[in-house]
Amino acid sequence: MKRLISTVFVVLMVATTLFAAGAKETAPRLMLSNAYYTAPYCAAYNPSAEKTAEELGYKLTVLDGAGNQQTQLEHANLAIAEGYDGFLYFPADVDGALPIIEALNDSGIPWVGVNAYPGDKIDEVGMKYYVGPDASSHGHTMAATIKELFPNGCRLVGIEGTAGHMQTLYINAALAEDLDGRYQWLDRQDCNFQAEVSMTKMTDMLTAYGLASRGGRIDCIVSHDGGMLTGVISALEAAGYGPGDVTIIAMGSNQVLYDTMASGWLTACSTQDPVAEARLAVETLNKVIKGTATPGWTKLPTPVAYPDTKDNFNWF
């Protein structure tokens, strides 16, 4: 009798183990091909995507696209061949994205484009669903902040990205749309997202115009990212200025922006939260799989952070 009970127990244990293994194998699977897998932004983005997928009952595999569209095409084909239930495509560049988009569309796999694509161009290439930031939104957020801080107008200088870069163009267009003639641009310089270049350009601007708080003309400095902001601050320090001598507005959510707010240099920042963006991307893919998603561009909010609210945001 004891042997029978023992045998039945072993059979039940084996059956339970096999059932659990089978359940794992049949769990819906998602794949994220991330062209910027090793970027600081994605050090926060990828874990958030994995956590959200798990909460929704999926197993997410994150692959390194290594900034290479051919590698990402291989990822797409792998997901298609192995029957993944959904695919997130974080592209390396706009020009090389079309073969991957076509492969995904032809296969019928549910998929969503994320982050690095112009949201207003998705219909042209057959990207039915897209989740990502809106560079224009950063421009609008910064403009609203400038108007809040200087309701009667002010004199500004711009530390900008690369001439012709999508982000630079969209931010500047939004600033031009929102700021009227009371807001005068004394100078705007392309700094190619490089701190060394921004330091040189800012030094030249300080020589030419000076800060309004010290009898000069510059009321506000607008920096298009955190990296260039470090060059701006270096130039200010070298010229003998300190935190609070000039209003500085920037955009992004990298740690340097948090630190410069904490040290008193940065007045306000239009944020872009990688944790929130990844969560929104996975949630959107889940809706696509379930047939409840609305086609088009799901925009990531870009709320403004101030020194006294900075701890309410995620930084990377």
Task: Tell me the average pLDDT of the chain.
Answer: 91
Tens of pLDDT, residues 106-146:
999 999 999 877 888 899 999 999 999 888 999 999 999 99
Residue 208 scores a pLDDT above 60: yes
What's the confidence (pLDDT) of residue 25?
56
Give the domain extent around 279: 9-133+274-300
Compare 227 and 95 and report the one with higher pLDDT.
227
- 143/266 same-domain check: yes
pLDDT, position 133:
86
Q: Are residues 55 and 88 in the same domain?
A: yes
Residue 102 to residue 105: CA distance in whole angstroms: 5
Distance CA 196, CA 142 (A): 24
Is residue 202 in some structural domain?
yes
Same-domain pairing of 207 and 236:
yes
Whole-prediction pTM value?
A: 0.82
Q: Give the pLDDT of residue 39.
A: 85
CATH number for position 72: 3.40.50.2300
Q: Quote the CA–CA distance of 259 and 157 in Å, as a whole number.
A: 22
In this model, does residue 40 exceed pLDDT 70? yes
Report residue 21's pLDDT band, with 50, 70 and 90 as the boundaries.
Answer: very low
Least confident of 34-43, 80-89, 177-186, 294-303: 34-43
Establish if 20 belongs to a structural domain. yes
Q: Is residue 308 part of a domain?
A: no
Q: Are residues 174 and 232 in the same domain?
A: yes
Whether 122 and 22 share a structural domain: yes
pLDDT of residue 6: 45
- Based on the fold, state whether residues 182 and 242 are members of the same structural domain: yes
In a domain, 313, yes or no: no
Residue 312 is predicted with a pLDDT of 95
- 122, 80: one domain: yes
Least confident piece of the model among 60-64, 97-101, 163-167, 234-238: 163-167
**Lookup: tokens for 7:** 């045998």
Across-strand partners of 156?
185, 220
Domains in the chain, number: 2
Let me know whether 144 and 93 are in one domain: no
Domain check: are 174 and 125 in the same one? no
Confidence bin at 166 (pLDDT 50/70/90): confident
What do you get for the CA distance between the two ends of the chain, in Å? 63
Distance CA 284, CA 130 (A): 9
